[in-house]
Structure 1
């Protein structure tokens, strides 16, 4: 309560004191206050359970608004904040933020107006103040009911110079549904506050630097599922150790500590009934109120689940309709507690889950619970009914492989649809030979009709693709290309995909896309359907094949996001799509995007990736490492690709690995190393055990000619390089491999130039094609001297230099290098703090306002301004800003 004559209680002062933003807080671009959809809204509601970083986000927004000259009032809500006290808190918050000692004088008197009258007076005084005000109210769930009504009244009647931001737990209802419905307010929930993978990587780099790599960050992200508090705790635990990679690799230790935290934070404070409820539903992968009621036999399961999902961070993400999913960390802890129940209690819970899931046609999950409950025959029957659809519609190879390990051999032979599901799963992996044996068992059974024969041929053709035997694929595919049974939409979609892939093998990427456009579109239930996803993969591969990386990138980014969401980030198909997207991102000179999308996926590709995806992933990673100056890491990756090719018996990948190594050594003119690698390529090509088919051989032959070209370049025998370059170009032209043709055209021009001949015509064509396709890395990756030569010629006016990439700086240093280049071009280097002060000076902020925005004292700001005057040879703030704009140190307005 106010004391009169300008004095206020200490607890009121504490209520309006904003928290400091941690110096290591990661600023997430999509959550900046200037970003859509929140940029122009006058009211924002942030609702999420504890541990989702609501207060940190609000503190960050406060600094952003301060940097734009706004007055930002902060109020931390308390249970004793009746409407009168709330109005006084609001008045004091604006008085302190604006530096106006008379603001809210009437409200802060010993006996101020109560109820909504005080809020109305505050709004009226604010409207007349001519201030641009942002009001932040944190922890609104602590307010009594009457004050929450007053806050809703304030948001509805806010004047045009007021923006209101409120943070609260999900169980709080502010009665502003009308504002949300009409778009006058936006609600930001826990799904938006979760860290995305790239944000987790940025956070780990900022905290741990070189101690952590992308794969480690991706594994930690998967463990915590982007939960901000979980990430903070995990980083604290890792920071205590010496080896971050080892700490995260040993997930058992890290998980145990995170689980312990979950127990302390959640279960210790729960009502016993809630604890029992969570323990019993933890056996479910997906949660529905009716399912939870069936398993627990709690009459109030619907209400209890809804309440716990609002009040606790146990539930990681919601899905369609009424379905929820439990956070992995919480589920692991709760399942350990479930295992402490009696065997009878456990069996009964699983049996009830199986019965409910079977009734609602969720057969795969029902089968798993039935097997756990000891109902084996029921489990096998449910599995037979579900797994074929699971692989064909949803691509759940992991589930099929798990059942293969569980099922007795006799049961598998008795159930032909299980055999088919198993054969499909093994065919699209490194276990393609096992798929052939299963197909033989299927065809040995009586009553094999045309549909089954066609499907078996498709399975074997798929196995041939994963065995990198395109000629066998063509031999198996062609007889059924136009003779497939017409009544099965899924098989028709598979055949359409195979027709498209067949056209691509013949060097017809445009025809491949046309085949996909003409494919039948059946009902594949949820999502786009697994077989239709393969169509997206083939179209993306066709764009990569011909060098149309911009089109590939625009197609593959949403495709990868969708596959990650529905299939899982470490699903083999998701990883194969990601390899294509990473290759496109790299060619577009976005190394950070490429590294992010490939993080923690390489091991999956090694085991079950399509050969082309595996090759693209390794090549992209090797080129990124080389561009960052880590040539030893690049060579290690290429040797690893060679080893994977040897283990999986994929000789074309071995030859591609050796060719890429030749390219890398040629960049440093290591002629002896290149000769030895070419000898290894020739030895592999002479192996009589290799495929002699036309399709396989011509892909290998072009790699060999490219290797010979680079070997001659390494020896600086420019005349000798011209012939293999011509032969390779002719082969690439037949195959319509556009990116390779542009690379060879540039190399040919470079070799002619070294021979003293006119090569500008070839170079002009190569650069123009690279510009058209968006291939920003092609020349720098081909040879460093070629990249430098193209850049020099481009700078002289042959082509726009901005469209030709120089060898990239390490991803973490790109922004720093750009700043140094800009500043050093004018004979000066500004420190990061000086640059920040300069930006704020350009917004006409006073020293005091700059200090608030930067969280530093006014004396420090004056010192930075003095240094800027000296460096910019300016005598006034206006002069300093003007000279900075002329020199390009800050952006010119308009």
Structure 2
């Protein structure tokens, strides 16, 4: 290091990039996310590492820290890397003389670590908090990587280090990570969540793209930052971004082909063919790639492609990876264009490799595609029952389309798996036929008959016939399976459902607690999560939304990770969590939870969760002033009830519509809707059991009471509302009871003037149970009454402000308000003021007048600014301040 003048390369390496336009700064990934002194950001290409570092740099600067930026490369040996560190601090800290002795020392690799010690010592003496950001640190050669590791292990208190790279950063820092002195931000943390995707799309397109469409974009890209950026760019170029999104969702022959072609454009034909060949399988392993291609070098080629191309999804500490779905869809169209014998050979090799390693269902699919049908059916018979236990119901239903009737007739175990998959969804009525096949097979013992009873009872639950559900399960209720059987948890789930239907929610929770979950075996999280769903529903039934949320939110996160966002059980968790978020006035969060999930719920959810989802979605729309959308959602719920022969859904939809119209005193509309409710109840009540009838009669009485309120016939409203309230209390429906109590109090107050006491009680209960919207939604007049009660000093519901999605936007870089000097310890407050005035192209005299100082003082401050910014002119000083992130808003 014989020279003190930086080379052009060093200047460029230490120049921080601009934060991307429209960058969405995610609150969970702000600069305080990882509070450790050392932060490692490690993820594959396309995960937005550099964008995140640019966001953090701006946040650190805004908090007054000095930020030194360095872009590493594969030529940065220890000597060159140390020179870059010196210049990074000079640039970022506005200290042109920093490290002069180090720079003038003779360079030798052996002495680089001694010079690094001097660099650390000089840095420790600065009166600054310094953040060193090293991007692409994984490209450092061995000596440069060792020097960075030495700096991280010996960093002084005023130095924070952020290093980013694609792989390998965590291994040298393993000791720091183990002792909590370093934090790792991996690819999974960098992936966008659905609420962040919605916020990003809204920031870009506003109301032109709704939350459902944004959630579809999330599903297409999997939250992959590069995929999102490519998709948003394509949407922005289109005349209608929603149409472009539909085109993107249409499959590989839409917009996906040009997007993926751009990602693969730099690959050789051999590498592209490798990607086409391995796209045949869902997940990838180096040995599997070698088996598929017959190429011994395939594992090394896969490792290189995984490192250098942004098309793979990798896992930490695992050799397994997969192609990104957006990319794989396109590659599979190219795979389909291969010759038939080539495709069959690849499928055959995949089946052989996967089957040898116990991945039977995947092996069965490949054997079927290779034309080895008999072998495929044997593998499917061995694996599909386990697939049901793991919640892979869609996989089983896909096999139902492939399986000939003759194969089902001779394979009872396949019929059992198919029966489970059919029972848990809208095709529940088809489960009976498969159960009959199973029971007719030789060797149908009590254990098999018990499992068949569970299947049929599940089908009745999905058919919204709770009384028939109890009848089918009752003979087996007192004879649970062995505690180590997977059916032990399923039995507990049935007992909990039985207790809930009988109005004993606390008993349902006790039954769930009695199951020792550790004994039911691995890979059965799906069955366990059904137990969590039952517990959450019991709390929700009682109106204990906070207790329900404490169970359901962790279960939702776990289900999304293991089963996927659009798995039926995940969607049921989301529906319940959305209703809770809505009650807590977290409206945007509730909408994000429901986004792009209603279609799944319609096909494969319990009627109770379907009602929760559509009612919550309708109330969100009404709250946002979109009444026609709210009524349309309720009409969709009614149409669904007709199509699936679920009359309670029709009654719920109509009763909710009555409530909406009654709040606006639309008496004739309410009369017509109530007439439809009465007709449905009269048609079905004779053929249904007492539990179903009781729930429908509560809705019917509530609708009659609301209709009387719409006519402003206060006395006529009291009796049906009181009757509905009594049914709700019997069923232990906490929210409905409070709502009905408030409505009855309103009617009594208008009729006789004695409704104040019950209304106060309803408000008190709503506050106790954190039901923030129950009174507000019941009737607009109740919201006004509650406000008056609160203003008068009585106990009120304690309204809370709406909580927006957990994202924050980076402050705009536009020139609104003129140049603005960011807070920084590098410049004094007066120097920042002078810099802002300098950026307005004012003369020294004009600056003196504006700053209320003399011209001599201005010249003195300008001299200091030129020195700190290493600038040679006024214009140069402004441009240097912009480059260092010290000045914003300059046109």
Q: TM-score, normalised by structure 1?
A: 0.87
Q: Aligned to 2:775, which of 756, 775, 779?
A: 779
Tell me: CA distance 1:639–1:304, structure 2 relative to 1, closer, same or farther (3 Å). Answer: same
1:539 matched to which residue of 2? 535
2:281 matched to which residue of 1? 284
Q: After superposition, give the CA deviation of every residue in 1:38-92 in whole Å (9 maximum; x if it has no partner).
A: 12x2222222222221111111111111111111112223455444443333333
1:261 matched to which residue of 2? 259
Q: After superposition, give the CA deviation of every residue in 1:782-841 in whole Å (9 maximum; x if it has no partner).
A: 11221232133123322366x2358x69x689999xxxxxxxxxxxxxx99889989969
Query: Matches of residues 436-447 of structure 1 in structure 2 within 5 Å?
Result: 436-447=432-443
Q: How far did 1:303 drift?
A: 4.4
Q: Aligned to 1:529, which of 507, 525, 528?
A: 525
1:324 matched to which residue of 2? 321
1:731 matched to which residue of 2? 727
Q: How far did 1:634 drift?
A: 0.5
Q: Aligned to 1:237, which of 234, 237, 240?
A: 234
| CA distance, structure 2, for counterparts of residue 180 and residue 319 of structure 1 | 14
Q: Aligned to 1:77, which of 50, 72, 76?
A: 72
Q: After superposition, give the CA deviation of every residue in 1:738-762 in whole Å (9 maximum; x if it has no partner).
A: 1111111222222233335243322
Q: Aligned to 2:829, which of 840, 843, 846?
A: 846
Q: How far did 1:269 drift?
A: 2.6
Tell me: CA distance 1:688–1:31, structure 2 relative to 1, closer, same or farther (3 Å). Answer: closer
Q: How far did 1:113 drift?
A: 7.7
Q: Aligned to 1:418, which of 388, 409, 414?
A: 414
Query: Secondary structure of the residue that 2:192 maps to in structure 1?
Result: coil
1:106 aligns with 2:101: yes
1:96 aligns with 2:91: yes
Tell me: CA distance 1:538–1:834, structure 2 relative to 1, closer, same or farther (3 Å). Answer: farther
| CA distance, structure 2, for counterparts of residue 27 and residue 855 of structure 1 | 29
Q: After superposition, give the CA deviation of every residue in 1:838-883 in whole Å (9 maximum; x if it has no partner).
A: 996999983766999x9995899xx9xx99xxxxxxxxxxxxxxxx
Tell me: CA distance 1:447–1:59, structure 2 relative to 1, closer, same or farther (3 Å). Answer: closer
| CA distance, structure 2, for counterparts of residue 45 and residue 150 of structure 1 | 16
Q: Is the 8 A contact 1:230 1:258 kept in 2?
A: no
2:390 matched to which residue of 1? 394
Q: After superposition, give the CA deviation of every residue in 1:276-306 in whole Å (9 maximum; x if it has no partner).
A: 4433322111223333333333334544444
Q: Is the 8 A contact 1:669 1:715 kept in 2?
A: yes
1:629 matched to which residue of 2? 625
Query: Matches of residues 172-571 of structure 1 in structure 2 within 5 Å?
Result: 175-251=172-248, 255=252, 256-266=254-264, 268-270=266-268, 272=270, 274-318=271-315, 321-391=318-388, 393-483=389-479, 486=482, 489-519=485-515, 521=517, 523-571=519-567
| CA distance, structure 2, for counterparts of residue 782 and residue 763 of structure 1 | 12
1:582 aligns with 2:565: no
Q: Is the 8 A contact 1:171 1:307 kept in 2?
A: no
Q: How far did 1:232 drift?
A: 0.5
| CA distance, structure 1, for counterparts of residue 592 and residue 234 of structure 2 | 23
Q: Is the 8 A contact 2:27 2:808 kept in 1?
A: no
Tell me: CA distance 1:832–1:613, structure 2 relative to 1, closer, same or farther (3 Å). Answer: farther
Q: After superposition, give the CA deviation of every residue in 1:525-565 in whole Å (9 maximum; x if it has no partner).
A: 44453222221111111111111111111111111121122
Tell me: CA distance 1:859–1:628, structure 2 relative to 1, closer, same or farther (3 Å). Answer: farther
Query: Matches of residues 128-207 of structure 1 in structure 2 within 5 Å?
Result: 128-170=125-167, 175-207=172-204
1:889 matched to which residue of 2? none
Q: After superposition, give the CA deviation of every residue in 1:498-532 in whole Å (9 maximum; x if it has no partner).
A: 12111111111111111222236475444453222
Query: Secondary structure of the residue that 2:20 maps to in structure 1?
Result: coil
Q: How far did 1:134 drift?
A: 1.0
Q: How far did 1:107 drift?
A: 4.2
1:665 aligns with 2:661: yes
| CA distance, structure 2, for counterparts of residue 705 and residue 479 of structure 1 | 34
Tell me: CA distance 1:612–1:833, structure 2 relative to 1, closer, same or farther (3 Å). Answer: farther
Q: Aligned to 1:677, which of 673, 677, 687?
A: 673
Q: Aligned to 1:747, which of 736, 743, 747?
A: 743
Q: How far did 1:697 drift?
A: 0.5
1:870 matched to which residue of 2? none
Q: Is the 8 A contact 1:370 1:379 kept in 2?
A: yes
Higher relative CO (Cα under 8 Å, sequence separation at least 6) belongs to 2
Q: Aligned to 1:33, which of 31, 34, 37?
A: 31
Query: Secondary structure of the residue that 2:486 maps to in structure 1?
Result: helix
| CA distance, structure 2, for counterparts of residue 99 and residue 485 of structure 1 | 73
2:606 matched to which residue of 1? 610
Q: Is the 8 A contact 2:360 2:380 kept in 1?
A: yes
Q: Is the 8 A contact 1:247 1:254 kept in 2?
A: no
Could you tell me which runs of 5 or more consecutive residues in structure 1 were left unpaired when the two chains were aligned.
Answer: 817-830, 868-894
Q: Is the 8 A contact 1:575 1:604 kept in 2?
A: yes
1:50 matched to which residue of 2? 45
1:61 aligns with 2:56: yes
| CA distance, structure 2, for counterparts of residue 627 and residue 836 of structure 1 | 40
Q: Is the 8 A contact 1:350 1:370 kept in 2?
A: yes
Q: How far did 1:613 drift?
A: 0.8
Q: After superposition, give the CA deviation of every residue in 1:550-583 in whole Å (9 maximum; x if it has no partner).
A: 1111111111121122222211222122211111
Q: How far did 1:379 drift?
A: 0.7
Q: How far did 1:671 drift?
A: 1.4
Alignment: residue pair count: 838
Q: How far did 1:665 drift?
A: 0.8
| CA distance, structure 2, for counterparts of residue 385 and residue 111 of structure 1 | 71
Tell me: CA distance 1:787–1:173, structure 2 relative to 1, closer, same or farther (3 Å). Answer: closer
1:646 aligns with 2:646: no
Tell me: CA distance 1:841–1:520, structure 2 relative to 1, closer, same or farther (3 Å). Answer: closer
| More divergent stretch after superposition (282-291 vs 590-599) | 282-291
| CA distance, structure 1, for counterparts of residue 661 and residue 828 of structure 2 | 55
Tell me: CA distance 1:452–1:526, structure 2 relative to 1, closer, same or farther (3 Å). Answer: closer
Q: Is the 8 A contact 2:776 2:782 kept in 1?
A: yes
| CA distance, structure 2, for counterparts of residue 843 and residue 124 of structure 1 | 19
Tell me: CA distance 1:351–1:10, structure 2 relative to 1, closer, same or farther (3 Å). Answer: closer
Tell me: CA distance 1:455–1:121, structure 2 relative to 1, closer, same or farther (3 Å). Answer: closer
Query: Secondary structure of the residue that 2:100 maps to in structure 1?
Result: coil
Query: Secondary structure of the residue that 1:686 maps to in structure 2?
Result: helix
Q: TM-score, normalised by structure 2?
A: 0.87
| CA distance, structure 2, for counterparts of residue 200 and residue 245 of structure 1 | 15
Q: Is the 8 A contact 2:572 2:605 kept in 1?
A: yes
Q: After superposition, give the CA deviation of every residue in 1:721-778 in whole Å (9 maximum; x if it has no partner).
A: 1111211111111001011111112222222333352433223322221122111111
Q: Is the 8 A contact 2:667 2:711 kept in 1?
A: yes
Tell me: CA distance 1:527–1:317, structure 2 relative to 1, closer, same or farther (3 Å). Answer: farther
Tell me: CA distance 1:47–1:704, structure 2 relative to 1, closer, same or farther (3 Å). Answer: same
| CA distance, structure 2, for counterparts of residue 186 and residue 636 of structure 1 | 49
Tell me: CA distance 1:832–1:604, structure 2 relative to 1, closer, same or farther (3 Å). Answer: farther
Tell me: CA distance 1:381–1:358, structure 2 relative to 1, closer, same or farther (3 Å). Answer: same
1:710 aligns with 2:693: no
Q: Is the 8 A contact 2:40 2:169 kept in 1?
A: no
| CA distance, structure 2, for counterparts of residue 732 and residue 103 of structure 1 | 75
